[in-house]
Amino acid sequence: MNSKKIISLWTAFGKTMGLALVFLIFQQCQKTPDNKGPLFVPEGFESKIFIDSIAETTRHIAVSPNGNVYTKFKRTSEEGALAALQDLDRDGVAERIEKFAKDPSIKGRGYATASRVYKGYLYFSSELAVYRYKLDPENLVPSGPLETVVIDDHPHGMHEHIGKPIAFDNNGNLYVPFGAPSNACQNPKRTPLQPGMDPCPQLEKHGGIWVFDAETLNQTQEDGRRYATGIRSIVGMDWNSEDESLYAVVHGRDDLYRLWPDRYSPWDSAVLPSEEFLKIEEGDNFGWPYCYYDQIQGTRVLSPEYGGDGKKLGSCADYKPPIMGFPGHWAPNDLVFYKGDAFPDYYKNGAFIAFHGSTNRAPYPQSGYFIGFVPFKNGVPAGEVDIFADGFAQVDPILSVRDAVYRPMGIAFAPDGTLYIGDTEKGRIWSVKFTGDKSQFGTASLAKMEARKLLSHFRTPDPEKDHLGEKNLTGGKLIYKTYCAACHQRNGKGASGRFPPLDKTHWVVGDKERLVHLILNGMQGPIKVNGEDYNSMMPQHSFLKDVEIAKVLTYIRTNFGNEASKVTVDEVKKYRESNSKKQSK
């Protein structure tokens, strides 16, 4: 929502409720909730801590017809890959938890992106497959064998945007995305000023959604059919039974400023491009990698890899637009349409979206970290996104992603109307119920949540007033802020599960030659740093000059609590030569 609309809402609240009351609401909104306390939710709703923490932490959640809660872990352990939880006395708090799914055939770690119940089965995913267990109505934990439904058998194994969210229609079909293996179809990946491949060969097997039979086992991509294309990265997807259509929330591309500093500013890169809310019909093409959606202009524009400058439209009108564009990097990671009757009518058939929050908005505050709601009427959005639940991060502004105490990820509804929300950082799960009078629920009930839209993790940042970074930087610090901070963060602590920290790790303070080769070649796939698993992609930075590599590596080896020796230009030159010899063999 733009600033003018927020101001108008603010004024409207003042007229209808009294300026003093609005001030008190906003003052209350800025208070940090206690770690044991409830979330900020609309009037008439009540939140409780369903379970305080799960060591493996959580990603996605599903609820069985009898009310049992199942969560897929962020990190597998010796105890399994999932947990089953029960609220025995129906008070909104779990009294029982059992971990399961120890089957060694479960492939992948740390990037589970699905947990759904369908026809008596618990379906869930890893990076490389979709699995299921037959639920047992008499027992909390499934007793039958693990079954594999869809296998990602591509020879490359791991790549970018490899999540496997799932959705089921009413005709026995299972929808599975195969995400784009790059940011914008560059080769080498994420290299400044590198044009994109045209046509993009990655679209043949990636960057789209494939449809499978929901109950056939051991299918590969060849057993399905491509349903839609031109989609970079989906982590949240659901079937809307009201209009019999597939919907998804999509992560927009990254690094506009880092890759194209002649065309984009840090502010542009912080707020653009849009995270897209799509309605998807068979045969649709949404334009990745050739175009991206600019929610400020309200149109698709040409990507810089294909000659764009933020204004040129090119052929982008040929591609289907989203039904709504959210601000950049909010990371919408789950989507559920509400079909129940326990909430007020305002929420009926609307979309609940978990925004996991940004990592790469520096030098501006990180943004997102809330549960949003988009009202629907007659199958189309009937308003802007609401803040339904907030207070997860517990700080504002959020300078670096690890400053956020909790980050919402999974959402699911129980048959009794309870909404469950899971967190990836501590493994906390909340339950949310409506306990008020549905007949009295209206605009005033949403007032305190509208006031929260003035906080920096929601509103569009002011280019000058909200700039948190140091200006006029030079040397290694400037190179770090330009090329490294978006992932490893301004404080060097990285982002849990995605981007490793740089503080006090042997990868940084250890072997200089390995470190230089890492800069030159990049790295992709799972890695363990300081005891934590990470699974992402670091692009190669061979385009940097020897002196620039020496400066930035010296900077990270002597900052963030590190006290290692400097890296000299001569050392970088020597290691670049040895790297070239290795690459030529």
- 530: containing domain: 475-584
pLDDT digits 0-9 by tens, 361-371: 999 999 999 99
Q: Indicate whether 112 and 46 sit together in one domain.
A: yes
| Greater model confidence, 168 or 10 | 168
Q: What percent of the chain is modeled with pLDDT above 90?
A: 73
> Is residue 157 assigned to a domain?
yes
CA angle at 58 for the pair 410 and 107, rounded to the nearest 5°: 105
Q: Indicate whether 182 and 275 sit together in one domain.
A: yes
> Is residue 10 assigned to a domain?
no
Q: Indicate whether 215 and 325 sit together in one domain.
A: yes
Q: Indicate whether 333 and 372 sit together in one domain.
A: yes
Q: Indicate whether 270 and 142 sit together in one domain.
A: yes
Rama region for 244: left / alpha / beta (φ>0; ψ in -120 to 50; rest) = left
3-state secondary structure 164-187: CCCEECCCCEEEEEECCCCCCCEC
- Output the six-digit token pair for 311: 């204004």
> Is residue 102 assigned to a domain?
yes
Q: Indicate whether 110 and 191 sit together in one domain.
A: yes
Q: Indicate whether 317 and 393 sit together in one domain.
A: yes
pLDDT digits 0-9 by tens, 310-323: 999 999 999 999 99
Contacts 24+ apart (CB under 8 A), 573-576: 573/546, 575/512, 575/513, 575/516, 575/517, 575/520, 576/516, 576/520, 576/546
Q: Indicate whether 144 and 279 sit together in one domain.
A: yes
* Choice among 417-431, 489-503, 559-573 with the minimum mean pLDDT: 489-503
> Is residue 345 assigned to a domain?
yes
* Choice among 389-393, 445-449, 507-511 with the minimum mean pLDDT: 507-511
pLDDT of residue 156: 59
Q: Indicate whether 145 and 227 sit together in one domain.
A: yes
Q: Number of structural domains, the chain?
A: 2
Between CA 211 and CA 252 the distance in angstroms is 23
Q: Indicate whether 224 and 339 sit together in one domain.
A: yes
Asked whether residue 26 carries a pLDDT value surpassing 50, the answer given is no
Q: Indicate whether 159 and 240 sit together in one domain.
A: yes
pLDDT digits 0-9 by tens, 501-555: 999 899 998 999 999 999 988 887 778 888 888 877 788 898 899 998 989 898 9
> Is residue 545 assigned to a domain?
yes
> Is residue 235 assigned to a domain?
yes
pLDDT of residue 37: 61
* Burial label, 568 (beta-carbon count in 10 A; 0-12, 13-18, 19+): middle
Q: Indicate whether 275 and 312 sit together in one domain.
A: yes
Predicted confidence band of residue 456 (pLDDT cuts 50, 70, 90): very high
> Is residue 430 assigned to a domain?
yes
| Greater model confidence, 158 or 389 | 389
- The residue-averaged pLDDT of 49-77 equals 94
| CATH code (residue 296) | 2.120.10.30
Q: Please tell me whether the overall predicted TM-score, pTM, comes out greater than 0.85 for this model.
A: yes
| CATH code (residue 484) | 1.10.760.10
Asked whether residue 378 carries a pLDDT value surpassing 60, the answer given is yes
326 contact partners, CB below 8 Å, separation of at least 6: 249, 274, 275, 276, 277, 295, 332, 355, 372, 385
Number of other residues whose CB lies within 10 A of the CB of residue 511 = 11
pLDDT of residue 14: 41
pLDDT of residue 469: 83
> Is residue 23 assigned to a domain?
no
Last-in-domain residue among 431, 446, 461 = 446
